[in-house]
Amino acid sequence: MSVTARLAELGVEVPEVVPPVASYQPAVRAGDFVYTAGQLPFKDGVCLATGKVGAEVSVEVATDCARQAALNALAAIQNLIGDLDQVKRIVKVVVFVASTPDFTAQPGVANGASEFLGQVFGEAGKHVRSAVGVSVLPLDAPVEVELVVQV
Amino acid sequence: MSVTARLAELGVEVPEVVPPVASYQPAVRAGDFVYTAGQLPFKDGVCLATGKVGAEVSVEVATDCARQAALNALAAIQNLIGDLDQVKRIVKVVVFVASTPDFTAQPGVANGASEFLGQVFGEAGKHVRSAVGVSVLPLDAPVEVELVVQV
Amino acid sequence: MSVTARLAELGVEVPEVVPPVASYQPAVRAGDFVYTAGQLPFKDGVCLATGKVGAEVSVEVATDCARQAALNALAAIQNLIGDLDQVKRIVKVVVFVASTPDFTAQPGVANGASEFLGQVFGEAGKHVRSAVGVSVLPLDAPVEVELVVQV
């Protein structure tokens, strides 16, 4: 099944690219790789949540944020290469989670991105991942997600 | 000398792959590159330590953790490509160190990974590296290590 | 205009490579990519500042630090490949900003690196970027910058 078909089945519409919040590009192709910028969980121009997981932000909300940020990364890729069916492999996902020092369930939060990518890309969506708890993210977003994909 | 021979000389046995703690793969090949997931310092199913460096975890223990996490990354690579002698170059190492804000010796901790890779791979083990102090890591591990290698 | 010419126009001299603070290389080439180590804002052997942005370090100083660290990354690349005009594309920039938990303007700080790279490389300098707030960096530096470039 094509990625486009899977997205339709999931009821997911790839959004417009979120404009970078500073002097960089949403996605860049180099050889057979596309790199995305670190994506924040913006939806319709609004960040889905702000604050730290373990304090103001629940695991559930943070997990949704990881999914949204991954979707925004797909939007950046689609905008660059024209068609997500050209993605041969989701290679790597990094999920930064703004965390209080005692919150240690970053892998669960990051699954919001990983499981979504698995649903959309199937076998091609199987990736390596680093999930890291950081003190704070841009605009106080709870999650930032970057991708490396092979095209 | 082959990598296998060097490992034997060092008395190092490459362990079984540590099962990912969530929805991702331990290693992925894309073109001539193998990327690993962020690896935690598990040994025989147990994390060697938990907590932050600068507080509960000493530099010595954290350095051992970095070495173990790097070894686990090698296990992931070997499991994927079959043979560590196929590694042409350790390209990049990222070492995240869960740190109290006043602990600034991340480079020493990260050397636990870097020096081990140098011992195992010799010239081919010379890599770039980022060492970063973060607020917290998955499962409260003190260190997380990811690799990019060329095969 | 060549990169060399642009650097001259900007009055920027590419410095000597900053010696790694531990067991790694300043830059490594793999295929058509050059990766740099995480670079700290050293200038003439001294770190431009120490401490956290949001506390001891101002946004202005941190932005200068990001620019200096990016320049040091260029020094590492030039030393490896001989000539910055061989850079076809700045692909990816990661900017780690040592931040208090309430400082959320990492994108502005990271622009110190991104805008400098844009000035030097023009179209070829357009990159993806992740800006992340972390608890602490090596030697208490406020900023660490790593690059991936295509040659």
Q: CB pairs below 8 Å between A and C: how many?
A: 92
CA distances from B124 to A112, B3, B86, B92, B114 (A): 36, 10, 11, 11, 12
* Sign of the torsion angle spanned by Cα atoms B43, B46, B48, B53: positive
Owning domain of residue C102: 3-11+33-150
**What is the rounded average pLDDT of the residues B121-126?**
95
Residue A145 belongs to domain with CATH number: 3.30.1330.40
pLDDT at res. A20: 87
Is A108 part of any domain? yes
Closest CA to B30 of A43, C24, C116, C30: C30
Is A28 part of any domain? no
Q: Looking at the predicted structure, is the pLDDT value of residue C1 above 90?
A: no
Interface of A with B in 12-31 (CB under 8 A): 31
DSSP state of C123: G
Interface pTM, i.e. ipTM: 0.95
pLDDT at res. C42: 97
**Option in C23, C26, C27 nearest B114 (CB):** C23
Is B16 part of any domain? no
pLDDT at res. B22: 81
Contact C10/B at CB under 8 A: no
Query: Tokens in use for B101?
Result: 């804000």
Residue A23 CA, chain-centre distance (Å), reads 20
**What is the rounded average pLDDT of the residues B50-74?**
98
Is A119 part of any domain? yes
Residue B38 to residue A126, Cβ atoms within 8 A: no
pLDDT at res. B19: 87
Rounded to a whole number of angstroms, the distance from the CA of A142 to the nearest CA of chain B is: 14
Q: What is the percent of chain C with per-residue pLDDT over 70, rounded to a whole number?
A: 100
Predicted TM-score (pTM) above 0.95: yes
Number of domains chain B is built from: 1
CA dihedral B48, B52, B149, B20 (to 10 degrees): 60
Chain A residue with minimum CA distance to B94? A130
Residue B137 to residue A104, Cβ atoms within 8 A: yes
Contact B32/C at CB under 8 A: yes
A94: which chain C residues are within 8 Å (Cβ-Cβ)? Answer: 130
Is B27 part of any domain? no
Query: Tokens in use for C20?
Result: 């790694």
Q: Looking at the predicted structure, is the pLDDT value of residue C95 above 90?
A: yes
